[in-house]
Amino acid sequence: MKVLSVFGTRPEAIKMCPLIKEMDKHEEIQNVVCLTGQHKEMLQQVIDIFGIEVAYNLNIMRPQQTLTTITTSVLERLESVLMQEKPDIVLVHGDTSTSFAAALAAFYQQIPVGHVEAGLRTYDKYSPFPEEMNRSLTGKIAELHFAPTENNRKNLANENIHKNVFVTGNTVIDAFHTTVKDGYVYKDKGIRDIDFSGKRCILMTAHRRENLGEPLRNICRAVRQIVEKFSDVEVVYPVHMNPAVRNTAEEILKNIDRVHLVDPLDVEDMHNLMARSFLVMTDSGGLQEEAPACGVPVLVLRTETERPEAVAAGTVKVVGVEEQNIFENASVLLTDVAEYEKMAKAINPYGDGHASKRIAEAILEWKVVG
């Protein structure tokens, strides 16, 4: 059975590589990997660490690319790969423009699509933008749906998607189990050089399109307030390569004491730093899944989340994008031990580290049943 996996951004790669490695264990599966190259350096970092074999790279990334150019480049360049490979199934992941365009390209060739990380929803078309629509449309096209949680399965059921839905856990936890190690030594010199002794580390990331501009400025200003008030806090902010993110981060946070703006960390450094942090502040999806697994509280720098499971469990709180609200929520966790302890509990709503195994088995079973 030939499985063509198509992905193109950092988070897709982190979440697809464990599955590709798992499928490699099955003789019945012939794995072919096609990168769209929606990301470049940030994608290559992940591929290098997991060491997976790449058959195609469509190399679509352009500086400040638009949603239209991503979508059309994937559609155009994937066509010949699909025609040449004629896979039995195309696997896509999540909610990026790569995911949607690759699913659409497969649909045009009448090739079944398997959607990994299916069923996440905010039901707000414009938030997150364009991810909510990307994942809904991909769900419409897909034949197989790998839902991380029961809640995700219910979302699909509400849209009348009942067939071939598998609740598997999230493969990000599979990845996390392979990267976090005792006695880990950071590869990044900037991180190695930070003296964390007697300090509390806040790990932050922010990159979402809907946060670009004023919301991201508010976030950065809140971070500035936090380090001014708490002298034992070191903030590490691995800055996304998007110039629209970099410019704002540097404009407000460059040369601020105890704020470390660093280049994107490779996934091993990132996961190990996260596991040793006091607090995570982020608008990323993946971090909302990973941090709860290691008992690190998360403040979500967004107005909504498609990942309500950890919010319900009390380890994640959505705090919006207003400066004062972010500052106050972080201040509570930095001063009130009881409030901190309430949030700092390790939970695993997103899986037990065996999601890839379940997905690979479901794909094989589907092939047998036809």
Which residues of this chain interact with ligand UDP, rule CB under 6 A? 10-11, 14, 172, 205, 207, 238, 264-265, 267, 270-271, 284-287, 290
Q: Is the peptide bond before 130 cis (omega within 30 degrees of 0)?
A: yes
365: left (phi over 0), alpha (psi -120 to 50) or beta: alpha
151 DSSP assignment: H
Q: Which does 286 bind (CB under 5 to 8 A by kind): ligand UDP, ligand UD1, none?
A: ligand UDP
Q: Which does 238 bind (CB under 5 to 8 A by kind): ligand UDP, ligand UD1, none?
A: ligand UDP
Give whichever of 133 and 364 is closer to ligand UD1, judged by the CB atom: 133
Give the total of residues touching ligand UD1 (CB under 6 A).
Answer: 26
**Tokens read off for 207:** 């990159």
Single-letter amino acid, residue 246: R
- Give the residue, chosen from 15, 115, 207, 357, that forms a contact with ligand UD1 under the rule CB under 6 A: 207
Q: Which does 39 bind (CB under 5 to 8 A by kind): ligand UDP, ligand UD1, none?
A: ligand UD1
**Site for ligand UD1, residues 93 to 122, rule: CB under 6 A:** 95-97
Say whether 147 sits in a helix, a strand or coil.
Answer: strand
CA–CA gap between residue 96 and residue 115 (Å, rounded): 12
Q: Are strands 89-93 and 113-116 parallel, antiparallel or unpaired?
A: parallel
Q: Which does 38 bind (CB under 5 to 8 A by kind): ligand UDP, ligand UD1, none?
A: ligand UD1
Q: Is the peptide bond before 264 cis (omega within 30 degrees of 0)?
A: no
- Give the residue, chosen from 26, 40, 217, 367, that forms a contact with ligand UD1 under the rule CB under 6 A: 40
Nearest distance, CB of residue 53 and ligand UDP, angstroms: 21
User: In 10 A of CB 23, how many CB atoms?
Assistant: 22
Q: Which does 14 bind (CB under 5 to 8 A by kind): ligand UD1, ligand UDP, none?
A: ligand UDP
Q: Which does 64 bind (CB under 5 to 8 A by kind): ligand UDP, ligand UD1, none?
A: ligand UD1
CA–CA gap between residue 266 and residue 180 (Å, rounded): 12
CA–CA gap between residue 176 and residue 14 (Å, rounded): 9
Q: Which residues pair with 262 in a beta bridge?
A: 238
Give whichever of 8 and 327 is closer to ligand UD1, judged by the CB atom: 8
Which residues does the annotation mark as catalytic?
Answer: 95, 117, 131, 207, 209, 240
Under rule CB under 6 A, residue 68 binds ligand UD1: no
Single-letter amino acid, residue 353: G
Nearest distance, CB of residue 47 and ligand UD1, angstroms: 11
**Site for ligand UD1, residues 43 to 62, rule: CB under 6 A:** 43, 61-62
Under rule CB under 6 A, residue 73 binds ligand UD1: no
User: In 10 A of CB 176, how many CB atoms?
Assistant: 26
Q: Alpha carbon of 169 to those of 146, 213, 302: distances in Å? A: 8, 34, 24
CA–CA gap between residue 99 and residue 94 (Å, rounded): 6
Q: x/- site string to ligand UD1, residues 208 to 237, per CB under 6 A?
A: -x----------------------------
Under rule CB under 6 A, residue 21 binds ligand UD1: no
